């Protein structure tokens, strides 16, 4: 088991201890044999190595661009070792904007998701903390002034949000991986809406079984309809694609896992050419994960099956679209099995743009990329000079 799984285990234990009715989603174990090929086609530069406490540690979420500056979160680290919001220039000048667990009162802890921007402010979620220990929605300004907008209660309410928020018509939409009034022991997860004033309501509560359970990915809004994935449940038990109106009318569009289909989608969608593109952490012809495409009506097909080894394996992050080309990361694979940045077109032609070659470069990239002036910026959850993650740049 790779070191990042220990981090996930620690967070999961902390969440369960703090939120008695919450559930934690356990990522799939990873690890494929490394190959000797050097596939570093892209121009790579390591920009920053996180330094551990009181700096952030183990970033697992993508960064958000605002005014030429990138903003992101780390799962742990900071003054209270409960996670941070950080800011960095495109040349790697990083500073902690806010340390969770230090704000007094029922602050959120362990932010596992990136930030959404609305009216010049950032909005995000924490996996745990808040009034009941079941997670929060928070707001933070560019100056670092943070406040909790909403604390999840578990029970019929959601619990343990691990995905970034999406914005539609001035409201924020997200998912919780547990809670809700479903048939699961600790709740099957929810889709929720929260206003900028902190008024929250559950849009849809998953029921488990064929309906899907454990939504851990960001939603995408298409014509005021919310599209997303669940990492479990469905007809084959390995995840689904769903859509729901903001009024809560939900429809199952696709169940993963039949034949060489993907399995365990942990990422949301990117829209390109009227279709939705996503990744699955497992499944595919080689059981190493896939890139897939679906229509908004749910007609899905695998676009590419990862091979493991030098090719990369187990993508966990959203794709991004840059000039008609899609880019993403795999958590493992490459040479020597430290993860990759890859490119794929909408016809399914894929190549590795950068394979992380040494732990000093970084390892275990689990976050989506950000595009700035034609270059790609990302994070690794491990590796770097201090072993606790990095910020990097790749030029396609």
pLDDT tens figures, 349-396: 999 999 999 999 999 999 999 999 999 999 999 999 999 999 999 999
> Is the model's pLDDT at 174 over the cut of 80?
yes
Alpha carbons 130 and 216: distance in angstroms, whole number: 19
Give the Cα-Cα-Cα angle 120, 50, 146 (nearest 5 degrees): 30
CATH number for the domain formed by residue range(s) 3-395 = 2.120.10.30
d(C-alpha 60, C-alpha 58), whole Å: 6
| Among 307, 152, 177, 291, residue whose Cα is nearest residue 231 | 177
CB atoms within 10 A of CB 252: 17
Checking if the pLDDT of 20 tops 50, the result is no
The pLDDT of residue 334: 95
Which carries the bigger pLDDT value, residue 29 or residue 89? Answer: 89
Per-residue pLDDT for 156 more than 80?
A: yes
User: What one-character DSSP code corresponds to residue 276?
Assistant: E
Place of tokens 């009162």: 105
What is the distance between the alpha carbons of residues 351 and 308, in angstroms, rounded to a whole number? 13
Residue 386 burial (10 A CB sphere; 0-12, 13-18, 19+): middle
Q: Give the span between the Cα atoms of 172 and 203, in whole angstroms.
A: 12
Supply the pLDDT for residue 24: 38
Q: How many CB atoms lie within 10 A of CB 223?
A: 6
Q: For 29-66, b where at least 16 C-beta lie within 10 A, e where not — what string?
A: ebebebbeeebbbbebebbbbbbbeebbbbbbbbbbee
Cα 367–371–372 angle (5° rounding)? 135
Domain layout of the chain by residue ranges:
3-395
Please provide residue 3's backbone torsions phi and psi, each rounded to the nearest 5 degrees.
-60, -35
pLDDT band at 13 (very low <50, low <70, confident <90, very high): very low
Beta-carbon count within 10 A of 229 CB: 33
Q: Taking 90 as the threshold, does the pLDDT of residue 186 lie above it?
A: no
Residue 6: pLDDT above 50? no
φ, ψ (nearest 5 deg) of residue 337: 65, 35
Q: Tokens 């009227």: give the residue.
A: 274
Q: Would you say residue 134 has pLDDT above 70?
A: yes
pLDDT level of residue 4 (50, 70, 90 thresholds): very low
Q: Whats the size of the chain, residue-wise?
A: 396
User: Nearest 5 degrees, angle CA 365-CA 366-CA 370?
Assistant: 85
Return d(Cα 345, Cα 129) in angstroms, integer.
40
Reading the block at residue 324, the tokens are 């008609």
By CB atoms closer than 10 A (0-12, 13-18, 19+), residue 297 is exposed
119: Cβ contacts below 8 Å, ≥ 6 apart: 196
Look at residue 7 and give its three-state secondary structure. helix
Tokens of 346: 């909408």
Distances (CA, A) of 298 to 251, 344, 387: 10, 21, 41
pTM of the complete model beyond 0.85: yes
């Amino acid at each position: 088991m790779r070191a990042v799984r220990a981090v996930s285990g620690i967070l999961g234990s902390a969440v369960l201890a703090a939120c008695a009715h919450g559930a934690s989603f356990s990522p799939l174990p990873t690890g494929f044999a490394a190959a000797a090929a050097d596939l570093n086609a892209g121009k790579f530069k390591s920009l920053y190595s996180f330094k551990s406490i009181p700096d952030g540690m183990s970033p697992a979420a993508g960064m958000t661009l605002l005014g030429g500056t990138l903003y992101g979160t780390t799962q742990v680290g900071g003054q209270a070792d409960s996670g941070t919001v950080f800011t960095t220039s495109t040349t790697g000048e990083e500073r902690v904007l806010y340390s969770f667990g230090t704000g007094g009162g029922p602050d959120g802890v362990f932010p596992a998701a990136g930030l959404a921007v609305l009216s010049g402010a950032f909005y995000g979620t924490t996996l745990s903390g808040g009034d009941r220990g079941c997670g929060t929605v928070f707001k933070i300004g560019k100056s670092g002034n943070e406040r909790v907008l909403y604390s999840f209660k578990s029970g019929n309410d959601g619990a343990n949000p691990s995905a970034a928020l999406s914005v539609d018509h001035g409201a924020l939409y997200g998912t919780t991986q547990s809670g809700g009034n479903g048939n699961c022991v600790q709740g099957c997860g929810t889709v929720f809406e929260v206003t900028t004033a902190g008024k929250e309501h559950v849009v849809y509560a998953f029921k488990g079984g064929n309906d899907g359970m454990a939504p851990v990915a960001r939603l995408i809004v298409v014509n005021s309809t919310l599209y997303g994935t669940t990492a479990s449940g469905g007809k084959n038990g390995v995840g689904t694609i769903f859509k729901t109106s903001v009024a809560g009318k939900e429809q199952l569009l696709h169940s993963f896992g039949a034949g060489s289909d993907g399995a365990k989608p942990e990422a949301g969608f990117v829209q390109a050419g009227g279709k939705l593109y996503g990744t699955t952490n497992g499944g595919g012809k080689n059981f190493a994960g896939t890139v897939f495409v679906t229509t908004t009506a749910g007609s899905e097909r695998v676009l590419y099956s990862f091979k493991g080894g030098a090719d990369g394996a187990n993508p966990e992050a959203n794709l991004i679209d840059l000039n008609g080309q899609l880019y993403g990361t795999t958590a493992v694979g490459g040479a020597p099995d430290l993860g990759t940045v890859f490119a794929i077109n909408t016809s399914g032609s894929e190549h590795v743009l950068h394979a992380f070659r040494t732990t000093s470069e970084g390892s275990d990239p689990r976050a989506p990329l950000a595009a700035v002036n034609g270059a790609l910026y990302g994070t690794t959850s491990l590796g770097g000079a201090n072993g606790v993650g990095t910020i990097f740049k790749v030029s396609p």
